[in-house]
Amino acid sequence: MSSILHALRRLGTALSKLSLSRRLYLVLLVLVIVTLILVGRLILHGLANLGTLVFGPRLEPADMAGSHSLFYEFDPATRPDAVEMIPLNLPQTKFELTGPYGARDTMLITNHVCLNRHMGLFQLKHNSEMFDRATLPAVNVRASDAEFDWYYQGKAYTSEEFIERQHDFERDGYSTKMIVLRNTTLFAASPIYAGHFSHFLVNTALPLVEQQARQYGPSDPAEHRKYAESLGWLSERRDLILLGDLWSDDKLYVGRSDPLQAFKFGHIYRYALKDLPIGCTVCYPRVIFGLNNTCPYDGCTHVPDPAMIPYTSTRRMFRQHYMAAEEVAAVERWEAAGAREPLDSRPSVIVVQRRGTRALLNLGEIETTLQQLGLDYQVVELENYTFGEQVALFSHTRVLIAAHGNALGNLHWMPPNSLIVEAWQYDWESYWFGHILDVMRPERNITHHVIACKDFSCTRESERDPNYNSKDRAVAIDVKQLRSVLLENGFGHKGSE
Ligand SMILES: *[C@@H]1O[C@H](CO)[C@@H](O)[C@H](O)[C@H]1NC(C)=O
Ligand SMILES: *[C@@H]1O[C@H](CO)[C@@H](O)[C@H](O)[C@H]1NC(C)=O
Ligand SMILES: *[C@@H]1O[C@H](CO)[C@@H](O)[C@H](O)[C@H]1NC(C)=O
Ligand SMILES: *[C@@H]1O[C@H](CO)[C@@H](O)[C@H](O)[C@H]1NC(C)=O
């Protein structure tokens, strides 16, 4: 205390030695400093109201494991080490439309797109034409089927409009945190036919994996895996937003598992963006709209394109996700050897029986035929299998016998030189699986044999009404044909009878 008094006394003595004008000058200086401090605080406060930009850290794999807590991970309060404040500088945009197949098969790669629960997907400070129907790539941003063409209407907000909305959120008592993710790409895709396993797989899931491989890796598909391991997917974060014709969240689940888990996305947003806290805005440095390769498989051109054969790398990726490493290695050795014998004690002939519609009416006869040919088979109901279990099951399957339906989507896991026998219901035909197999033939050589039900004799009495949905009729398979196609393709022995 006495030392403070002493210092004040010395200050008083020093001031009394100054002239009046110098004393006034000093007082003015103090006033200017105080004013600057107050104004500075106001400016800082104003900036805070515009939203704090928070850059996320480079993520470690552990951060991504099954995490749906992105926003809290990046909360400055819980991750002070992760936070880097930067001046608010609204991003500029550039975008390009690419793709050899025209409007239905293009990708839009753009920068700085933000998500907000109530503002949707939007781009700051850009002309709104970017999200015009004519500009957006059709495939996987809007459905390829006009019936489901509820494409997502993205928006462009000017910075003033954005700030105005931020103020609205604040007035309603929500925190308006703005997060700009570093080293993160958002993939924006529409899960075409989310409720249809095989369409979802072929039109969305596989292209998504393939496109990521292209985006992150070299053009040679054989190199994708190495690339994914070496840099892309373990440390660089990819998020996925599913737009458009998503019927409901749980439709993406197959059995008891979500095939999207296999892709190691950091975060998967569903259409409703309902995981985002109100007021929170997340911005991505890079966004890729569309998947760029559904056409060769879809009802678009039906022209198989050899450039689209791929899916070797995706098949492996799914297997690696759902099967033990030793099992994947064993399956791959077995495939490479082109062995005709089953890999292990599990039957390599699978007959799929559906529990609801499209049952195989003469299952007993089918089983007898397989027994007569000395084939070890298994009848399965896929309702009893998770998606991952199906990947494993069909990785061991050389012969798949099923009525036309999503079970055949499992052809993706089957080894080369296999056989698929597809039963067509009365008055129904569909080349969907045939087209896929045509595209894959050079690489996979899977024989596709259709046994069509040609008259009422192979249907159920109660389903003969011409107005009955043909596709959903139960069907009896002509076992004579089944027997000869099996033998022709080297499965089973006549002598076994
Ligand atoms: C990650 O972000 C940093 C800083 O923004 C940048 O220097 C680096 O190139 C990025 N890495 C990748 C793989 O994009
Ligand atoms: C789209 O697919 C084609 C055909 O595979 C490919 O040549 C092109 O590079 C792809 N576009 C992008 C942007 O990846
Ligand atoms: C599938 O599971 C149900 C219920 O557990 C069982 O009754 C049925 O036999 C199973 N189906 C097959 C083909 O194993
Ligand atoms: C394709 O598969 C069939 C039947 O499994 C076999 O006979 C044929 O040799 C295979 N072709 C090639 C090129 O591997």
SS (H, E, C) 89-105: CCCCCCEEEECCCHHHH
Q: What is the 331 CA–ligand 4 centroid distance (Å)?
A: 19
Q: What is the 421 CA–ligand 4 centroid distance (Å)?
A: 16
Provide the pLDDT for residue 108: 66
d(CA 1, CA 6): 9
Q: What is the 385 CA–ligand 3 centroid distance (Å)?
A: 10
Q: What is the 74 CA–ligand 1 centroid distance (Å)?
A: 17
Question: Do residues 406 and 414 lie in contact, with contact meaning Cβ atoms separated by under 8 Å?
Answer: no
Mutate to test the pocket of ligand 3, among 353, 384, 385 (most ligand atoms within 8 A of CB): 384
Provide the pLDDT for residue 33: 82
* Residues contacting 270, CB < 8 A, separation 6+: 242, 246, 249
Average pLDDT over residues 78-106: 35
Nearest CA to ligand 4 atom 11: 445
Q: What is the 58 CA–ligand 1 centroid distance (Å)?
A: 8
Q: What is the 122 CA–ligand 2 centroid distance (Å)?
A: 25
Percent of the chain with pLDDT over 70: 54
Boundaries of every domain in the chain = 55-313, 323-496
CA nearest 166: which of 5, 53, 30, 55?
Answer: 53
User: Which of 25-39, 119-133, 405-419 is the least confident region?
Assistant: 119-133
DSSP string for residues in 63-129 = HHTT---HHHHT-TTT-GGG--B----PPP--EEEE-TTGGGG-EEEEEEEEEETTTEEEEETS-GG
Question: Do residues 325 and 225 lie in contact, with contact meaning Cβ atoms separated by under 8 Å?
Answer: no
d(CA 113, CA 289): 11
From the CA of 414, which ligand is nearest?
4
From the CA of 108, which ligand is nearest?
2
- Sheet with 377-380, strands from edge to edge, namely 377-380, 349-352, 399-403, 419-424, 447-452
Residue 344: C-alpha distances to residues 240, 323, 331, 411, 432 (Å):
38, 15, 10, 20, 31
Burial class of residue 294, CB neighbours in 10 A (0-12, 13-18, 19+): buried
* pLDDT per position as a tens digit, 186-204: 887 766 655 677 777 777 7
Q: What is the 231 CA–ligand 1 centroid distance (Å)?
A: 12
**319 falls in which pLDDT band (50, 70, 90)?**
confident
Q: Domain spanning 323-496: which CATH class is it, in words?
A: alpha beta
From the CA of 385, which ligand is nearest?
3
Provide the pLDDT for residue 249: 47
Interior angle at CA 175, CA 170 and CA 178, nearest 5: 110
Nearest CA to ligand 1 atom 13: 183
Provide the pLDDT for residue 40: 59
Residue 28: C-alpha distances to residues 11, 14, 17, 40, 85 (Å):
17, 18, 18, 18, 34
Question: Do residues 331 and 319 lie in contact, with contact meaning Cβ atoms separated by under 8 Å?
Answer: yes
Pocket of ligand 2 (CB under 6 A): 98-100, 107, 214, 292-293, 307
Q: Please indicate, yes or no, whether the overall pTM of this predicted structure exceeds 0.75.
A: no
**26 falls in which pLDDT band (50, 70, 90)?**
confident
d(CA 452, CA 476): 9
Burial class of residue 388, CB neighbours in 10 A (0-12, 13-18, 19+): buried
Q: What is the 293 CA–ligand 2 centroid distance (Å)?
A: 8
**378 falls in which pLDDT band (50, 70, 90)?**
very high
Per the document, the length of the chain is 497
Nearest CA to ligand 4 atom 10: 417
Average pLDDT over residues 403-427: 93
Higher-confidence residue of 69 and 365: namely 365
Higher-confidence residue of 47 and 290: namely 290
> What is the enclosing helix (H) or strand (E) of 332?
helix 325-337
Q: What is the 411 CA–ligand 3 centroid distance (Å)?
A: 22
Average pLDDT over residues 376-387: 91
CA nearest 98: which of 111, 85, 109, 86?
Answer: 109
Helix/strand number for the chain, H first, E second: 15, 15
Provide the pLDDT for residue 278: 76
| 3-state SS assignment for residue 484 | helix
Mutate to test the pocket of ligand 1, among 182, 184, 185, 236 (most ligand atoms within 8 A of CB): 182
Q: What is the 137 CA–ligand 2 centroid distance (Å)?
A: 13
Whether residue 123 has pLDDT greater than 70: no
* Strand 53-55 to 155-157 pairing: unpaired
What residue type is 106 in one-letter code? T
- Residue 382's CB is within 10 A of a number of other CB atoms, namely 25
- Residue 476's CB is within 10 A of a number of other CB atoms, namely 20
| 3-state SS assignment for residue 210 | helix
Sequence-ordered alpha helix ranges (H) in 345-469: 363-372, 387-395, 432-444
From the CA of 335, which ligand is nearest?
4
CB hemisphere CA count around 357 (13 angstroms):
11
d(CA 10, CA 13): 5
User: Which of 38-47, 180-189, 221-230, 376-385 is the least confident region?
Assistant: 38-47
Q: What is the 409 CA–ligand 4 centroid distance (Å)?
A: 21
| 3-state SS assignment for residue 241 | strand
Q: Which of 40-54, 127-141, 247-261 has the highest mean pLDDT?
A: 247-261
Nearest CA to ligand 2 atom 8: 99
Higher-confidence residue of 171 and 157: namely 171
* Residues contacting 8, CB < 8 A, separation 6+: none
Provide the pLDDT for residue 296: 41
From the CA of 382, which ligand is nearest?
3
CA dihedral 95, 98, 102, 105 (to 10 degrees): -90
From the CA of 378, which ligand is nearest?
3
Q: What is the 269 CA–ligand 2 centroid distance (Å)?
A: 25
Rounded to a whole number, what is the largest CA-CA distance in the chain? Answer: 124
Mutate to test the pocket of ligand 4, among 417, 420, 487, 489 (most ligand atoms within 8 A of CB): 417
From the CA of 285, which ligand is nearest?
1
Closest approach atom of ligand 1 to CA 58: 1
Provide the pLDDT for residue 136: 46
Residue 45: C-alpha distances to residues 75, 77, 281 (Å):
19, 18, 19
d(CA 212, CA 109): 13
Average pLDDT over residues 228-251: 56
Nearest CA to ligand 2 atom 5: 307
Closest approach atom of ligand 2 to CA 293: 2
Nearest CA to ligand 4 atom 5: 417
Tokens for 295? 């056409």
Provide the pLDDT for residue 86: 25
d(CA 194, CA 252): 6
Closest approach atom of ligand 3 to CA 381: 13
Provide the pLDDT for residue 184: 73
Q: Which of 74-78, 160-164, 378-382 has the highest mean pLDDT?
A: 378-382
**158 falls in which pLDDT band (50, 70, 90)?**
low
CA nearest 269: which of 238, 241, 237, 239?
Answer: 241
Pocket of ligand 1 (CB under 6 A): 182-183, 236
